[in-house]
Structure formats: structure tokens, C-alpha cells
Amino acid sequence: MSNNPVRLIYPKRHGDARGWFTEVYSVPVFEALGITCTFVQDNHSLSAPAYTLRGLHFQRPPHGQDKLVRCVRGRIFDVAVDIREGSPTYGKWVGAELSADNGHQLFVPVGFAHGFVTLEDDCEVSYKCSDIYTPECDGGIRWNDAQIKIDWAMPAGTIPELSGKDAVQPLLADFDSPFAYDGRPLEPLA
């Protein structure tokens, strides 16, 4: 299990008349931030309609995944939920807007469920994972669980576009967590 914190990352952009350049991942930079995992898989998704919601997802051990998430087209609201058994912040969440314009990234460690909602049409999200996708370890929590109370940054009354799987994920109360608390509570994003 990872002992990395949930972190909002602000890569520097170097711009001129041509546009900008940014370094989105560097081992020494991330190690200085306390993020020490090794990424082995990159994923990329397109969500055509605004208010497409993907999540809340995770992978169980032995194939738990740290994720480094960024929005490369459009805007999303990205969320991490603490699902580590015994954590004082179990069931609590943090979220941030990630966009192609702001270039921010969210690091979501093993032991946290991850999800996002698109805030406009045609959003593309790219994320790195520290383990390969393993279907038998795939898991999730219901996106609208009243115990977690995520404010998804959608207009009141909006019904998000969901996959069939995400519409019927279990509630947190029915979830038996395989993730142990590592001594680091979830902290607000800086």
C-alpha cells in the first residue's frame, strides 16, 4: 500500500508567443512532493456530453492503483474519497476543478475511490496508474451515496450521464474495505 498523500499538483507552464510548455511528470519533482510510486499504465477518456460522471472507482489489492489525473480538453470536477478502514477521515472527500486551461493535476493514492464529472461537452481526461487494470480487482462506491455527500459541482436537478455499472455500485455502508489506514488522514487540498 502506498503512503502517498492526495495532492493537487500545479505544473509550471512556460509561455511565449507560440503558446506554452509544461512538464507534467518528473520523478525528482514528484519525489520532492512526497509522491514515490512508479506509473506503469496511461489511460485516456473522452466524455462527449457535459455532466458525464465516471466513478467512484478503485482497484483492490494486490493491484491497487495510485492515479495521477489531468484534464487535457475541457473542464472536470475531480474527486478522491477516503476508503481506508480505520481512517479518521473514512468516507470524507476532497475535490478540485481540473481543466485544459489551468493544467492542474490530482494525485489519488491507493486506498481512495476516484471519480469525476465533466463540466462541459467533449472533455478528455488522461491519467497515469501505478498498476495495470485488473478486472477481478475492480471496485466502486455509488457516486451519490448520502453518507459521503459529494457536491459534484453540477447545477441543481442535473442528472449525470452514467454507465450501467456506476449507477448500481454499492453504498459505502455495504462496502468491506480491503484498504488499511496508513496513519495519514485525508487533508484539504492546498
The answer to whether the CB of 114 falls within 8 A of the CB of 69 is yes
pLDDT at 190: 78
pLDDT tens-digit profile of 105-146?
999 999 999 999 999 999 999 999 999 999 999 999 999 999
Question: Which domains are present in the chain?
Answer: 7-174 (2.60.120.10)
Q: C-alpha angle 185/27/60, rounded to 5°?
A: 45
So which residues are the catalytic ones? 57, 127
pLDDT tens-digit profile of 51-62?
999 999 999 999
Q: Quick one: 155 exposed, middle or buried, by C-beta within 10 A (0-12, 13-18, 19+)?
A: exposed
Q: C-alpha angle 106/137/50, rounded to 5°?
A: 45
pLDDT at 4: 75
